């Protein structure tokens, strides 16, 4: 059974925020946390003016401080202990994190989505969006500054692929811990696409009722909009969405079900957390 939540960090504000968000998710799902730093330089990325700060030993100490000291400076209830480990890996960031996602005990990856304030934030944002498309497990991207609140409304960005029964069942299982209202929303640019989607709405409906009446409210709708991304963001803002769920094709194929750049665009633009699932092989 999957037991750990992986939190890749670069010690930025975005990754600190993702760690705090992950702590809340870990409590809800009763999982442990493993904080991971991928060092892809020559151990000189922390402080080039002090060689003592370029060693693996220093990075390990920094990691330990991150998981113990930082939460005490935040709004997290420090009385609640979250089982947390840390490790430093030397390698390429995207490949290293994807490799970790394939470990049998990995439940989910939670990482900062992006920030546009400086080059470091933009780099971390590019890495996170690539990981989201290629990982073997679900990936939750947390915007910088987004704080955890009880999840009451989930937007499932639905189309012909994401209507896959196994994926719908995954989001139902995820929602067991929240009983949030589920919004299965298909953004359509053309009427013919809307007609094609109507054929799979019944399948979603049947899955929702497979174990009797669901214990949450739901909405199945197709909305015509000139831009899928803007349509999703507008619906999210207008309906108090707390979490947006996307579906990508097989992780070895870069092209996603909403187009290669949809995950990247939403990661850059959305101020709501994004949960990315992958189509079964």
Among 115, 142, 169, residue at a domain's last position:
142
Evaluate the CA torsion angle 15, 21, 24, 28 in order and state its sign.
negative
Domain annotation covers residue 51: yes
Note whether 157 and 233 are same-domain residues.
Answer: yes
Give the residue among 123, 238, 230 at the shortest CA–CA distance from 183: 238
End-to-end CA gap in the chain: 20
Note whether 179 and 264 are same-domain residues.
Answer: yes
The domain total for the chain is 2
Note whether 211 and 132 are same-domain residues.
Answer: no
Among 109, 142, 175, residue at a domain's last position:
142
Among 116, 142, 168, residue at a domain's last position:
142
Residue-number span of the structural domain to which 163 is assigned = 153-272
pTM for the complete prediction?
Answer: 0.88
Note whether 48 and 114 are same-domain residues.
Answer: yes
Residue that wins the pLDDT comparison between 47 and 208: 208
**Cα angle, residue 51 at apex, residues 45 and 52 outer, rounded to 5°:** 100
Q: Reply yes or no on whether the pLDDT at 129 is more than 50.
A: yes
Note whether 241 and 210 are same-domain residues.
Answer: yes
Note whether 267 and 161 are same-domain residues.
Answer: yes
Residue that wins the pLDDT comparison between 235 and 50: 235
Across 249-265, average pLDDT: 56
Note whether 244 and 161 are same-domain residues.
Answer: yes
Q: 201, 160 in Cβ contact below 8 A? A: no
Number of residues that this document lists for the chain:
281
Phi, psi (rounded to 5 degrees) for 271: -100, 10
Confidence tier at 158 by pLDDT (50, 70, 90): confident
Q: Reply yes or no on whether the pLDDT at 259 is more than 50.
A: no
Domain annotation covers residue 148: no
Note whether 99 and 166 are same-domain residues.
Answer: no
Domain annotation covers residue 280: no
Contacting residues for 60 by C-beta, under 8 A, at least 6 apart: 86, 88
- The confidence score (pLDDT) of residue 79 equals 47
Domain annotation covers residue 281: no
Domain annotation covers residue 108: yes
Q: Quickly tell me which residue has 């640019």 as its tokens.
A: 189
Note whether 56 and 121 are same-domain residues.
Answer: yes
Average of per-residue pLDDT values in the chain: 83
Give the residue among 36, 38, 34 at the shortest CA–CA distance from 4: 34
């Amino acid at each position: 059974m999957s037991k750990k939540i992986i939190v890749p960090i670069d010690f930025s504000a975005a990754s600190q925020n993702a760690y705090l968000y992950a702590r809340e998710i870990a409590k809800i799902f009763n999982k442990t946390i493993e904080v991971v730093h991928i060092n892809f330089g020559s151990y000189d990325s922390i402080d080039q003016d002090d060689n003592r700060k370029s060693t693996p030993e220093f990075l390990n100490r920094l990691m330990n401080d991150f998981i113990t000291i930082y939460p005490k400076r935040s709004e997290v209830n420090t009385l609640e202990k979250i089982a947390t480990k840390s490790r430093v890996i030397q390698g390429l960031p995207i490949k290293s994190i994807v490799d970790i996602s394939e470990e049998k005990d990995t439940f989910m990856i939670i990482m900062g989505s992006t920030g546009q304030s400086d080059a470091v934030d933009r780099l971390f944002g590019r890495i996170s969006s690539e990981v989201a498309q290629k990982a073997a497990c679900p990936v939750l991207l947390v915007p910088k500054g987004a704080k955890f609140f009880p999840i009451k409304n989930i937007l499932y960005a639905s189309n012909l692929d994401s209507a896959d029964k196994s994926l719908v069942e995954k989001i139902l299982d995820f929602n067991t811990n929240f009983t949030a209202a589920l919004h299965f929303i298909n953004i359509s640019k053309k009427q013919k696409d809307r007609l094609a989607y109507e054929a799979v709405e019944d399948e979603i409906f049947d899955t929702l009722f497979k174990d009797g009446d669901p214990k949450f409210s739901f909405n199945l709708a197709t909305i015509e909009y000139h831009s899928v991304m803007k349509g999703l963001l507008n619906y999210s803002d207008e309906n108090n969405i707390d979490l947006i769920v996307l579906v990508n094709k097989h992780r070895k194929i870069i092209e996603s079900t909403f187009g290669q750049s949809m995950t990247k665009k939403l990661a850059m633009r959305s101020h709501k957390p994004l949960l990315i699932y992958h189509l079964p092989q």
